[in-house]
Amino acid sequence: MKDSNQEVLMQTHKLGKTFSHGGVQQHVLKNLDMTLYKGDFTVIMGSSGSGKSTLLYAISGMDKPTLGEITFEGQEITGLSNDQLAIFRRKNCGFVFQQIHLLDTMSVLDNVLSSAYLVQKDRTQAVVKAKKLLSEVGLDASIWGKFPAQISGGEAQRAGIVRALINSPKAVFADEPTGALNSAAGASVLDVLTEVNERGQSIILVTHDVKTALRGNRILYLRDGVMVGELHLTPYSEDSGPERQKQLQSFLA
């Protein structure tokens, strides 16, 4: 069960997101209430089209909800201007994409630095930090100068994670981060995210994949824009696999 001393990271209150398709309204998120806790590896599951990506974009400040409130460490972010939201995001949120989205025309190192706000103040220090983080995810100096087309998908996504970490965000949001990878590369990416979480950063990961979801210690289930279930698991470790898998499978049944 959840440790009752755990602090709230963020909350949504009656969150709604509506898209309009040629005058027809599609309500993708509906009165969604959700609380996320600091230090958790939260996994949001749900079938394709249930609104997972829409929810992740809203809570990470990448897109604005239509209705409702989002608070991050008690601060309401829903009323912020676009500029304020950009500052909030840069300070607090890292984002990892399914399609990775490294810029093809930049080296791995420059891709990471492109997100580093420290670069404007102290480029040397930003480069040191980027190289340290790249090394920690297993990307050594031989990779730093390469372009995205010259590295594997798993290497590219690990660089994508470093780009998300470069400003030391409190929360890392990941949308199907292994969706474009083979299973070995996917496992290496999940190992990195597990380590990031073990060092104290909160992870909020969206997936429809059960094996990926097993990395989490708290599983939320989204159906048709509504949060319909919640499961607490002990934190991931390789040897606690079978028991956690049983718990997750009966939750999903």
What is the contact surface with Mg ion in residues (CB under 5 A)? 52-53
Q: Distance (Å, rounded) from C-alpha 251 to C-alpha 91?
A: 35
DSSP 14-69: EEEEEEEETTEEEEEEEEEEEEEETT-EEEEE--TTSSHHHHHHHHTTSS--SEEE
Number of residues that bind ligand ADP (CB under 6 A): 10
Shortest distance in whole angstroms from residue 52 CB to Mg ion: 5
Nearer to Mg ion, 11 or 53 (CB): 53
Shortest distance in whole angstroms from residue 49 CB to ligand ADP: 5
Nearer to ligand ADP, 134 or 222 (CB): 222
Residue of the chain from 11, 12, 42, 54 that contacts ligand ADP (CB under 6 A): 54
Restricted to residues 10-49, the positions that interact with ligand ADP (CB under 6 A) are 19, 28, 46, 48-49
Residue of the chain from 11, 52, 111, 118 that contacts ligand ADP (CB under 6 A): 52
Give the Cα-Cα-Cα angle 13, 95, 124 (nearest 5 degrees): 130
Q: Distance (Å, rounded) from C-alpha 45 to C-alpha 34?
A: 13
Nearer to Mg ion, 21 or 199 (CB): 21
- Distance from first CA to last CA of the chain, Å, rounded? 20
Nearer to Mg ion, 144 or 186 (CB): 186
Which residues contact residue 49 at a Cβ distance below 8 angstroms, ignoring those fewer than 6 apart? Answer: none
User: In the complex, which residues of this chain contact ligand ADP (CB under 6 A)?
Assistant: 19, 28, 46, 48-54
